[in-house]
Amino acid sequence: MTRTTLGSRTKPVAPEEAERLRQEAVRELTARLAHQLGNLLQVVNGNLELIAQRTTDETTQHYLANARAAADQLTDLTRALALEPED
C-alpha cells in the first residue's frame, strides 16, 4: 500500500491508484506548462514582428530571422506538450 498526502492528511492508496494520481498530476503540470509557454511565445513573436516592421538593417533582419526560427521550434515543442496523451 502506498500513502498519499492530501492536504495535511495522509491516507493509504492502492499502487494502481497512486500511479493514476501521479500520471494525472504530470498531465496537469504539462498542460499548465504548455499554456504558459504559449502565452510567452505570443509576447515574443509579437515583439519580433514589431521590431521587424521598424528596422531595415540587414544584420538586424538576420538576427530576427534566427529568433523567429527558434520561436517556431519552441512553438512546435509547446504544441507537442499540449497534446493529450493516449491512455
Query: According to the model, what pLDDT value does residue 22 have?
Result: 94
pLDDT of residue 87: 52
pLDDT at 60: 96
Distance of CA 77 to the CA centre of its chain: 8
pLDDT value, residue 78: 93
CA distance linking residue 71 with residue 76, whole number of Å:
9
pLDDT tens for the 87 residues of the chain, in order: 556 555 556 778 899 999 999 999 999 999 999 999 999 999 999 999 999 999 999 999 999 999 999 999 999 999 998 886 655
Q: β-pairing, 9-13 with 2-6?
A: antiparallel
How far apart, in whole angstroms, are the C-alpha atoms of residue 55 and residue 39?
A: 25
